[in-house]
Amino acid sequence: MRTMIIVLACTVTAFGYGYWDIFGVGGRVLSLSPVSAGMCGAVVPDGSSAFSLFTNPSALAGSDKVIVSLSGWGTGWREEIIYHYTCTEPSRFNLGSMSPRGAFAVTMPLGGGFTAGAGIATVSQYQMKAMVQEYHEVTSYKRELWKTLTTDATGDLNEALVSIAGTVGPVNIGVSPGIRFGGGESTTYSNRVSGQDSTFTESWDVTGFALRAGASMAIGYTVLYSTHTSGDSRYLSFSNIGASASFPFMKGGYLGAELGVFDGDNLNVTAFTRLPGVIEGSNMYLGLNGYRPDAALKTGIGLSIGGDYSFRNYRVSAAYHFHSRYRDGTAVPVQYINYVYDAGDTVTAGIERTF
């Protein structure tokens, strides 16, 4: 019995393919800021938002106002598992949603071009209930169901950061150190068609150091920037470089692109734009993203649209962000799976005030 439990534990731990990886890094929150979400998570410097201490803290250098930012979001996910055509049930769909979560940040000028800030946000979620089937071969043309693994996972990963930003020559630099903490639990039920069923529960609780840093420099109409986010066993590191360009005819708008990597080698490419809205004081945001993770069958696509409106000392913003990825059967340690398709829809809204 003990041996069976150990084997099951190894199986379900490797079975961390869910949205995005319920046994490991969870479902990463791709955009803490509605403006960033409207551009598929682009971290182009935004000096009007205290959320920059999470996305690109260099944007806060030289700020002369106190900024308070609050956002919230909800994510729905869907997953399709395609098995070998000889299986009894060649495809399986899992549907679900994450509980709403949010972020809060505040920044203030210190004088001399320096800005300080602090914030707290949920950066990854583990809420998922999904099912995968295991088959065994009857003949070369027929596979029958052997057992069903059903996993129910919960939990959050959060960050609490402080931030400092300033200018060194022509370059703005910002760093946001702090702690990354959270906990969760997953229970997997192994239900056999014939034979003994079993249950395996795994809980986790982590606290560790977190760092987000950024640098940016304006050259004429162009802004060059780079960011880095530290990783750990529960969160993938992320580094990128990007550029945005604004021209007089764009009336405050810009367009740009980013090239980044998760965990040192998983390529992420984003193109984005901000355009002035029809209503004075408003802007529209658009983004297109391609992400190629480990065991990718083909590149996953992200699409987003968002907008903001500023009045008096307030700015309200909202965005819709679709994100997806395809992975081949080797991403799941279960025989006869051809590929796994994951997709999520995130709706984000926020309000900010300057003093």
Task: Summarize pLDDT for 113-151 with one digit per residue, the tens.
Answer: 999 999 999 999 999 888 888 888 888 888 899 888 888
pLDDT score of 258 more than 60: yes
Q: Is residue 304 a contact partner of residue 346, using CB atoms and an 8 Å limit?
A: no
* Average pLDDT estimate for 107-111: 96
Q: What is the pLDDT at residue 334? A: 82
* Average pLDDT estimate for 335-345: 88
Among 10-24, 219-233, 234-248, 330-344, the minimum mean pLDDT is found in 10-24
Give dist(CA 315, CA 46) in Å, integer: 13
How many residues are present in the chain? Answer: 355
3-class secondary structure, 190: strand
Domain locations in the chain as residue ranges = 2-213+308-354
Give dist(CA 281, CA 249) in Å, integer: 17
Q: Is residue 270 a contact partner of residue 289, using CB atoms and an 8 Å limit?
A: yes
pLDDT tens, position by position, 149-206: 888 999 999 999 999 999 999 999 999 999 999 999 989 898 888 878 889 888 999 9
DSSP 80-111: EEEE-TTBSS-EEEEEEEPPPEEEEEEEEEEE
Q: What is the pLDDT at residue 1? A: 46
* Average pLDDT estimate for 243-269: 91
- Give the rounded percent of residues in the chain with a pLDDT score beyond 90: 65
* Average pLDDT estimate for 46-65: 95
Give dist(CA 250, CA 27) in Å, integer: 36
Among 116-120, 154-158, 304-308, 339-343, the minimum mean pLDDT is found in 339-343
SS (H, E, C) 138-160: EECCEEEEEEEEEEEEEEEEEEE
Q: What is the pLDDT at residue 142? A: 87
Give dist(CA 103, CA 348) in Å, integer: 11
- Report the relative pairing of strands 142-168 and 128-139 from DSSP bridges: antiparallel
Q: What is the pLDDT at residue 16? A: 55
Give dist(CA 5, CA 190) in Å, integer: 10
CB contact set of 147 (below 8 Å; sequence gap of 6+): 133, 134, 190, 191, 192, 193, 195
CB contact set of 8 (below 8 Å; sequence gap of 6+): 188, 190, 198, 200
pLDDT score of 9 more than 80: no
Give dist(CA 48, CA 319) in Å, integer: 17
Neighbours of 224 (CB within 10 A): 16
pLDDT score of 306 more than 90: yes
Q: What is the pLDDT at residue 17? A: 61
Q: What is the pLDDT at residue 51? A: 97
